[in-house]
């Protein structure tokens, strides 16, 4: 396997990791007003000011999750600098929206409990929802655009405007993603909280999945009728799209049957697969204008010497990262409750 492909794989891993981990954060953020405890007596006694099951569930992992996005951008700059410059400046309005949402949402999650009165907290609460919904929607739009292709100019740069974003396919991708992330968040809250809350989260998750599935189906139909994705590798794309449909189905079925761990595993797959679809479906192109044209991996990758140096570090650092992230998941496993410091 060549170094380029290994680094493309790592870039995909970072983005997929971010979709899975950041995805449930955004889902929990969007759902947090609907998943407060306070329903049952015990919860109210434990947390006089009305605990928040959704935010407690994500809290210990929150900082570690968001950094996958930072690492994605870093790896892209290090290994594929020519992709970074084109992609980010081309998607300018969407990236700015994502960043604005992220900044406000992240700050709100971390500072919500520092607010003094109920009014301050309501502002933060609203920002938490905003900061989950905007990135989720916009990442969906980005995925839609990348699948469909972007209007590249002769010099390789491109620009998106309303005309590119407001097409049925791209919009449907956005809607599918926001619903999927929300369902994924519900699944995470379900495995982290007490039984009453968990069943409420499961119900919500199942409903959201129906919506996500319907939107994904429309995207698929649009593609079949020629105004959707234009994939370079048809075979691989069909397999991945099929896997996505299966993952959504399994997740829905597990939610309704009360198997929340299985449901969460399935939504993890469903959030990661779009990344694989973009990567494998277009390989060797990283950015297409239409199937079989665009910026390919050789144009995008950094110089060989740099890649070798990066690889030396990568071999050491990436397993270490995975190890300590896994350690942090292990250390804070289990359900949230009284014993958990609830700082966020």
Partner 1 sequence: MSAAELARLQFAATTGIHWLFVILTMGLVPLVAFMHTRAAYTRDPAKKAVRERMTRFWGQLYVINYAVGIVTGLVMEFQFGLSWSGLSKFAGNVFGAPLALETLIAFFAESTFLGMWIFGWGRLRRGVHVTLIWLVALTAYASAYWILIANGFMQHPVGYEVRGGVAYLTDFGALLTNEMSLTALGHIVLAALTTGGLFVAGVSCFHFLRGTKETELFRSSLRLGTWVAMLASFFVVVVGELQRPIIERTQPMKNAVLENSGVAEVQRRLVEQFGPGDYVPPQGWIHLSMNVMTLLGNTISTITFVAVFLLWKDRLVRWRPMAWLMVAVIPFAFLASVAGWVVREVGRQPWIVYGHLTVEDALSHVSRASLIVSCTVFITIFVGLAVTNWTLITRFAVRGPDATQLGVTEPLPEGLPEQPTGGADDKQPVPAF
Q: Is there a contact between 4 and 69 (Cβ–Cβ < 8 Å)?
A: no
Which of 3, 67, 97, 243 is in the footprint of ligand HEM by CB under 6 A?
67
Query: How many C-beta atoms lie closer than 10 Å to residue 254's C-beta?
Result: 23
Nearest to 143 by CA among 163, 172, 118, 109: 172
User: Smaller CB distance to ligand HEM: residue 67 or 95?
Assistant: 67
d(CA 244, CA 274): 8
Q: Residue 236 touches which of ligand HEM, partner 1, none (CB < 5 to 8 A by kind)?
A: none
Q: Is there a contact between 192 and 57 (Cβ–Cβ < 8 Å)?
A: yes
User: Smaller CB distance to partner 1: residue 64 or 211?
Assistant: 64
User: Smaller CB distance to ligand HEM: residue 72 or 255?
Assistant: 72
Which of 70, 126, 221, 315 is in the footprint of ligand HEM by CB under 6 A?
70
* Minimum gap (Å) between residue 48 Cβ and partner 1: 6
d(CA 128, CA 11): 28
- Burial (CB < 10 A; 0-12, 13-18, 19+), residue 213, is buried
User: Smaller CB distance to partner 1: residue 82 or 207?
Assistant: 82
Under the binding rule (CB under 6 A), the answer on residue 115 touching ligand HEM is no
User: Smaller CB distance to partner 1: residue 95 or 280?
Assistant: 95
Q: Residue 135 touches which of partner 1, ligand HEM, none (CB < 5 to 8 A by kind)?
A: none
Bridge partners (DSSP) of residue 293 are 290
* Minimum gap (Å) between residue 310 Cβ and ligand HEM: 16
Q: Which stretch binds ligand HEM (CB under 6 A): 62-70, 230-238, 245-253, 315-323?
A: 62-70
Q: DSSP alpha helices (H): ranges in the chain? A: 3-31, 41-46, 53-79, 81-90, 92-111, 118-148, 162-165, 168-192, 195-224, 234-257, 260-282, 297-300, 304-331
Q: Residue 61 touches which of ligand HEM, partner 1, none (CB < 5 to 8 A by kind)?
A: partner 1
* Minimum gap (Å) between residue 202 Cβ and partner 1: 25
Residue numbers at the binding site for ligand HEM (CB under 6 A):
66-67, 70
């Amino acid at each position: 396997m060549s170094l380029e492909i290994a680094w493309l794989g790592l870039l995909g891993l970072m983005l997929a990791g971010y979709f899975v981990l950041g995805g449930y954060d955004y889902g929990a953020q969007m759902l947090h007003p609907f998943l407060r405890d306070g329903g049952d007596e015990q919860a109210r006694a434990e947390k006089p000011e009305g605990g928040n099951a959704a935010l407690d569930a994500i809290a210990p992992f929150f900082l570690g999750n968001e950094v996958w996005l930072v690492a994605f951008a870093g790896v892209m700059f290090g290994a594929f600098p020519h992709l970074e410059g084109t992609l980010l400046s081309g998607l300018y309005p969407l990236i700015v929206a994502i960043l604005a949402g992220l900044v406000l949402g992240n700050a709100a999650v971390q500072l919500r409990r520092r607010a003094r009165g109920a009014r301050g907290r309501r502002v933060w609460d609203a920002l938490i929802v905003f900061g989950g919904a905007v990135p989720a929607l916009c990442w969906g739009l980005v995925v839609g655009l990348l699948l469909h292709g972007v209007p590249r100019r002769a010099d390789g740069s491109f620009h998106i405007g309303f005309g590119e974003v407001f097409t049925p396919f791209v919009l449907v991708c956005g809607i599918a993603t926001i619903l999927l992330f929300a369902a994924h968040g519900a699944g995470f809250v379900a495995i982290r909280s007490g039984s009453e809350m968990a069943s409420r989260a499961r119900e919500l998750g199942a409903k959201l999945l129906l919506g996500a599935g319907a939107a994904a189906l429309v995207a698929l139909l649009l593609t079949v009728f020629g105004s959707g994705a234009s994939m370079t590798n048809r075979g691989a794309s069909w397999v991945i799209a099929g896997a996505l449909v299966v993952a959504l189905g399994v997740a829905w079925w597990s939610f309704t049957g009360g198997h929340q761990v299985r449901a969460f595993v399935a939504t993890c797959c469903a959030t990661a697969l779009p990344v694989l679809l973009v990567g494998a479906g277009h390989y060797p192109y990283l950015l297409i204008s239409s199937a079989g044209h665009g910026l390919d991996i050789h144009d995008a990758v950094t110089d060989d010497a740099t890649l070798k140096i990066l690889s030396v570090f990568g071999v050491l650092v990436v397993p270490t990262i995975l190890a300590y992230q896994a350690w942090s998941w292990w250390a804070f496993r289990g359900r949230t409750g009284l014993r958990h410091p609830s700082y966020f």
